[in-house]
Structure 1
Amino acid sequence: MSIEVKVPTLGESVTEATVATWFKQPGDAVEADEMLCELETDKVTVEVPSPAAGTLGEIVANEGETVGVDALLATITEGEGAAPAPKAKDDQSADNAPGQAKAEMTEQADDGAAMDVMVPALGESVSEATVATWFKAVGDSVEADEMLCELETDKVSVEVPAPAAGTLTEIVAAEGETVAAGGKLAVMSTGEGGAAKPAAMNPEPAADAGKAEIEQAKANVSAAKGDVEDAPSAKKAMAEKGLTSDQVTGTGRDGRVMKEDVMKAAGAAKPTPAAPAARAPVAAGDEGREERVKMTRLRQTIAKRLKDSQNTAAMLTTYNEVDMKAVMDLRSEYKDLFLKKHGVKLGFMSFFTKACVHALREVPEVNAEIDGTDVVYKHFVHMGIAAGTPQGLVVPVIRDADQMGFAEIEKAIAEMGAKARDGKLSMAEMQGGTFTISNGGVYGSLMSSPILNPPQSGILGMHKIQDRAMVVGGEIVIRPMMYLALSYDHRIVDGKGAVTFLVRVKEALEDPRRLLMDL
C-alpha cells in the first residue's frame, strides 16, 4: 500500500516552503513518526515525520525545491515486507551491511534503551525557546517525571520532565542555546542497565575513553561537514553577504549552515556603530564594578515588540484629564457592600474597563486592526490589562469584557494579576487582546505616552490621581484629577475618532451613571 507524504500546515499566512534536507533516501526503511525531511519557511524550520512505518519510495520534491502547503513530497510503501533492515539484527552474514550499526544499537537497547528528551509544545505561535538551566548532569540518575531542565520562551518558563526513569547520557542543547519546538534536548538510557551503558562502549580507562570519544566526535563533525549540503536559503544569504561556508558556523543538523547562522556571522563581521566595541572605556578605578547580565527572552521580546510597534504603526498620542471625584465617592459608598456580596474588592480598573467598552462601541476603529490592506473590525472586546512583574511587562487578556459586570471584571483582573506575579500565565491568557489599558499611576507616573501593543490600534494610559486646583462653576476648588493618554495608530484611527474616544471615557468616569444608561 502506497502512502503519500505531503507538506503540513506551515503556520498562519505562510503558504510555501523550501525543501532543505532529506534525512532518508528512496529504499530506506522508516518508522512511524521518524523524521523524513526538513522544510524551511521565511519564519521557521519544519520537520516532516513519516505517517507510517515502511519503505521510502519516490522523492517527488528534491532539496532546494519550493513547495506549497499540502503538496506531495514523497511516497511510502507500507507493510511488513517493505523494510528488510530490521532483519539484519539476526542475520549473521550481514556483518558489513549498512544495517549492522542499527542492529548493535537495538541489542544495546535491551539492557538500557536510548530515549530522546524533546522540547515540549511551547504554546500557540511560539516556535523556539532558550535552555535556561539544567538540573541534572550527564551520568545522573533520574526518576520518571523528575525535572531535567527549564526553558525560557518569550512569555513563560517551561519545565521539562524526564519521560522515564533511567540515566542522563547526553545533553544535546547546553544552557543558553536556542532550541525549536520539537527539537532534541538530551538523550537518556532507560532500564536498570542504563547507568552502565556509557562505560560499556569502550573498555579503555575512563580518561582515555573520554578523550578518544571527544576526538572521534570532532573528527566525525569535521568529516560530516564536508558532506552536508547547506540550506538553500543560507547559500543565497551567503552570496548576498559575500561570505563563504568556512566563515559561518552551522548550527543545523550535522553542522548544516542555516540562514540564521549567516545572519549572525554577517552581523559579527560588520558590527554596527552601536556595537559593544564602541562603548566608552571604563574609567580608571571602575574595573570590576560593572555587571553584564544577558537579557532574558522575555525582556528581549519586550524590547523587540515595542521597537517594532514604533517602526510599524503611525503612532500618535492624545491627552485629556478626568475628575475622579464621582468614581471615588461611588467606590467609597459601596466598596464594603460590594466586597461582602461579591468577595472581591471594588477597584478603579473595572470603572475604566467599562468606560473603555462604552467608548469603543462609538469609535469601533480603536478596537480594530490592520491586516495587509484590510481593516478587521472586532465586534467584541478582549481587554488587555498591562501588569508589571519581576520578570517584565506582561499583558493578560480579559476575554469578552464587554459582556461582564463590575464584579466579573474585578474577579478576572484579580485572578490574572495573581498569575502574572507568580509567573503562571499561559500563552493563551496573553493572546487575542483587542485593546489595552496600562496603569502607570500605580508607580507614581503623572503623564506618559504608552506604546501600542501590536496588532492593536489603541492603548489607554492611566496615571496618578493628584489633587489640583480646578475651576468648577466659577469657583476654584480642589479636585482629584488624573491625566489620560490614548496612543493610537493614525493609519486607521483619525484624530477626530481618537479625541471622541477619550472624551467619552472622561464623560463616563466623571458621571458613572452614564454607564448604566448607556449614554
Structure 2
Amino acid sequence: MPDIKVPVFSESVSEGTLLSWHKQPGEAVKRGEVLAEIETDKVVLEVTALQDGTLQTVVKNEGDTVLSEEVIGVLGEAGAVAAAPAASPEAQAADPAAGPVSGETSAGGTAVQPDSAPSGETPALSPAVRRVVTENNLNASQIPATGPRGNITKQDAVSAAQGGGTDQGPQSATAPVSLQTAAAPASAPAAAVASGPRAEQRVPMTRIRQRIAERLKEVQNTAAILTTFNEVNMQPAMDLRKKYQDQFVAKHGVKLGFMSLFVRAATEALKAFPNVNASIDGKDIVYHAYYDMGIAVASERGLVVPILRDTDAMSLADIEKAIGGFAVKAKAGKLTMEDMSGGTFSITNGGTFGSMMSTPIINAPQSAILGMHNIIERPIAQNGQVVIAPMMYVALSYDHRIIDGKEAVQFLVMIKNLLEDPARILLDL
C-alpha cells in the first residue's frame, strides 16, 4: 500500500500544519483527487492521490505538525476496508467505554467511537467536525447528520454551532468557527466559549498569519522606515484607458487597469534609482540587475505577495494577465511557494478598499514599497485655475539605512510624472 506523504517544502520552510482531510478512512479515492491540505507559513499545499484506491489509514490528524515528506496516511487498493488500529492505552483510560476505535483520537486523548455507534451514543467524528464540536461545546449525539453512513459533516457541525436547535449547552454569539484556521496543539485546552451580547471566542492564529506578524514586526525592529508622500492626477491615465480599453480587450483578452501602469512606471523609476531596488545583507548592499515586483493581494488567509518576474520585459497586457492569474490563485488558495519567493520591490493598493492614505510596511528583505490609494475627485490648482480632478495619494515607505530622502522623493516624483503623462511609459522617455 503506497504511503501518502507531505509535499517537499522549500528550504525556508521547516514544518507545516495539517489543515484538513478531504477524505476519511474507507472512502474511495481517484488519482489526482485532493486528499488533504497542509498549511505552511507561506502557502497552503494540497496533497493529491497518486493512484486510484481507498484511504486505508490516517497517520496524522488535523492540527498536527508535519514535516517535509513525512507519511500522513496510507492508500489501499480500491474497495479495501479501512484498518481500525487498536486504541492507545491513554485513549482507553480516558474513555473506558469507548470500545473499538477508528484509530483517531481527539485533542484531549478521548477515543473516537466507531461509525456504527449504537443509537443514543456519540457518533463517529472526523477531526474537523470534532474540533467544531469541542470549541462550541456541542452535544454530537444531538446534531442532525447528513453525511454518508449517517456521519456528521463539517457543515452539520457549523450549522449546529450557529444555533441549529441542538441541546448542546451554551454557545458563542460570535461568527461561526472558521474551518480554515489551524487547530490548537493537542495539549491545549479547548477554547472557552461565552454566551450573551459580550461573547468572546479564542481562535488560534494560522501559520500564515503568524508568519505575517513575525515578518512585519521584524522589519519594524530592524529597518529605519520612513515614508514620503505625493499625489497623482489620474485624469491622463483614465483618459488613456477609456480611449483604448475596447481595443486592448479585443487584442489581449484582458482589461487595461491602473496597476499595470504603476508597475511599468515603478520599473522605470527603479532603473533610475538603483538603491530603491537594492537590499541589505549583513554589512553589504546587494544591487539587483533585475526587477521582480511583488504585488500585494488580499486572500482569506491574509495578505500574500506574489511576484512578477522581470517586469522590465513585460508589456502592459502581460502584467494584467499575470496579476489576474495571481488573484484567481490567491482566492482559491492555489498560490505556490515559487509564486511568492524573491522580489526586489513591492506595490500595495489600499485604494481598492477605500483607503485615502497609509504608510505601508516594507516587505523584507526589500528596501521599499509603493502604496496606492483611493482616487477621489477634489479641487486642485492647474495653470492658474481651480479645477476638479481625480487625484490619488501615493506613498513610498523606504529603509533610510540604504535610501536617502532625496532619492526617495525623486523616485516618487518620477512615478508621478510618468503616470500624469503615460505616453512616456509607452515611448520609453
Q: Structure 2-normalised TM-score?
A: 0.70
- Higher relative CO (CA 8 A, sep ≥ 6), structure 1 or 2? 2
Cα distance in 1, alignment partners of residues 222 and 66 from structure 2: 28
Where does 1:49-448 land on structure 2 (aligned, <5 Å)?
A: 116-123=3-10, 125-137=12-24, 140-143=26-29, 145=31, 147-162=34-49, 170-187=57-74, 195=82, 198=85, 285-286=196-197, 289-448=199-358
Change (3 A) 1:175 1:515: same
Tell me by how many angstroms 1:456 deviates.
Answer: 0.8
Q: Distance in 2 between matches of 1:343 and 1:164?
A: 37
Compute the displacement of 1:411 (Å): 2.0
> CA deviation digits over 1:430-484, x for unaligned, max 9?
1121111111111110000011111111110001111111111222111111111
Is this contact kept in 2: 1:359–1:504, CA < 8 A? yes
Amino acid across the alignment from 2:63 = G
Is the deviation greater in 318-327 or in 167-176? Answer: 167-176
**Aligned match of 1:463:** 373
CA–CA distance in structure 1, aligned partners of residues 276 and 243 of structure 2: 33
Residue 250 of structure 2 aligns with an amino acid whose one-letter code is: K
Aligned AA for 2:7?
P
Q: Secondary structure at the match of 1:468?
A: strand
Closer, same or farther: CA 418–315 of 1 in aligned 2, 3 Å? same
Change (3 A) 1:143 1:490: same
Q: Give a deviation string over 1:111-135, Cα, whole Å, max 9, x none.
A: xx6x543212134532211011134
Determine the C-alpha separation between the residues in 2 that align with 1:517 and 1:192: 65
For residue 391 of structure 1, report the CA deviation from its aligned partner: 2.5
TM superposition shift of 1:136: 4.2
**Deviates further, 459-468 or 419-428:** 419-428
1: distance between equivalents of 2:316 and 2:41? 32
Is 1:500 the counterpart of 2:410? The answer is yes
State the Cα deviation string for residues 480-508 of structure 1 (Å, max 9, x = none): 11111000111111111111100111111
C-alpha displacement at 1:348, in angstroms? 0.8
5+ long unaligned stretches in structure 2: 87-96, 110-184
CA distance in 1, matches of 2:389, 2:80: 77
Report the AA paired with residue 176 of structure 1.
G
Is 1:124–1:427's contact at 8 Å kept on the other side of the alignment? no
Aligned pair count reads 334
| 1:415 Cα offset (Å) | 2.0
Aligned residues of 1:164 and 1:190 also touching (Cα < 8 A): no
Structure with the bigger percentage of helix:
1
**Amino acid aligned to 1:437:** I
Would the aligned equivalents of 2:28 and 2:78 in 1 still touch at CA under 8 Å?
no
Q: 1:177 to 1:385 in 2, by over 3 A?
A: same
What residue ranges of structure 1 are gaps of 5+ in the alignment?
Answer: 1-112, 200-205, 219-263, 269-275
Q: Return the offset for 1:167.
A: 6.3
Which string of whole-angstrom CA distances, capped at 9 and with x for unpartnered residues, describes residues 67-105 of structure 1?
A: xxxxxxxxxxxxxxxxxxxxxxxxxxxxxxxxxxxxxxx
Distance 2:344 2:100 in 1: 59
Q: Which whole-Å CA distance do the structure 1 matches of 2:80 and 2:315 have between them? A: 61
Instruction: Determine if the alignment matches structure 1 residue 479 to structure 2 residue 389.
Output: yes
- Superposed CA RMSD in Å reads 3.2
Structure index of larger Rg: 1
Secondary structure of the structure 2 residue equivalent to 1:375: strand
Checking the alignment, whether the CA contact within 8 Å between 2:57 and 2:82 is kept in structure 1 is: no
User: What amino acid does structure 1 have at the position aligned with 2:346?
Assistant: T
Given the superposition, is the C-alpha separation of residues 141 and 314 from structure 1 closer, same or farther in structure 2, using an over 3 Å criterion? Answer: same
Distance in 2, Cα, partners of 1:444 & 1:191 = 53
Contact 1:166-1:194 at 8 Å conserved across structures: no
- In the alignment, which residue of structure 2 is the partner of 1:38? none
Q: For residue 188 of structure 1, report the CA deviation from its aligned partner.
A: 5.7
SS across alignment from 1:125: coil
How far does residue 164 in structure 1 lie from its aligned partner after superposition? 5.9
- Kept in 1, the 8 Å contact 2:227–2:398? The answer is yes
Higher normalized strand content (fraction of residues): 1
The change in CA–CA distance for 1:351 and 1:144 in structure 2 (over 3 A counts) is closer
Q: Distance in 1 between matches of 2:228 and 2:41?
A: 31
Alignment map for 1:25-64 (pairs within 5 Å): none
CA distance in structure 1 between the aligned counterparts of 2:38 and 2:250, rounded to whole angstroms: 42
Contact 1:132–1:176 (8 Å) recurs in 2? yes
Gap change, CA 1:142 and 1:161, over 3 Å in 2? farther
Secondary structure (helix, strand or coil) at the match of 1:320 reads strand
